Amino acid sequence: MRLFIDANVIVSVLNKEYPLFTYSSRILSLAGNTRYKLFTSPVCLAIAFYFAEKKYKAANAKEKITLLSTHIELAEINKAAVKKTAANPKILDFEDGLEYYAALGSNCKCIITEDVEDFHFSEIEVLNCEQFFRKYMKK
């Protein structure tokens, strides 16, 4: 299953933000599971770097992002994604639209975010970390 990981999930792992870290870290650990392929975008990594840098300083934040990017695929945000985002009247937050079209372009079946309501326009499944964990991981 191809999963798109939003910036807020990555930030929670990089900054060890509890109680979300309990679920978000398990989801990112799926990068080593052959049943799942994780994607994020360069925009999400930039956002995550910004918040990690505030907590850990630039060098440490860059190291964390570099390590993370070796385990997660990067979804492309191209001109078509920008045009589709701008043209879609249902999209209220431009950045969320870019992430959505990056997820679609990478054939992701689910977007994992803590801001589920921001993706009200999505035609693919959108779950928060706990919902994803309970639906797909807990046995």
Tell me the CB-side half-sphere exposure of residue 8, using CA atoms within 13 A: 15
The pLDDT tens digits for 81-94 are 999 999 999 999 99
Tell me the CB-side half-sphere exposure of residue 24, using CA atoms within 13 A: 21
Is 19 a residue whose pLDDT tops 80? Answer: yes
Is 54 a residue whose pLDDT tops 90? Answer: yes
Is 138 a residue whose pLDDT tops 80? Answer: no
Average pLDDT in the 63-82 region?
95
CATH topology classification for 2-137: Rossmann fold (3.40.50)
Average pLDDT in the 3-21 region?
96
Q: How confident is the model at residue 72 (pLDDT cuts 50, 70, 90)?
A: very high
Would you tell me how many other CB atoms lie within 10 Å of the CB of residue 95?
Answer: 17
Q: How confident is the model at residue 38 (pLDDT cuts 50, 70, 90)?
A: very high
Q: What is the pLDDT at residue 90?
A: 97
The pLDDT tens digits for 98-137 are 999 999 999 999 999 999 999 999 999 999 999 999 999 8
**Cross-strand partners of 125:** 110
Judged on CB neighbours under 10 Å (0-12, 13-18, 19+), 8 is: buried
Is 139 a residue whose pLDDT tops 70? Answer: no
Residue type, 118: D
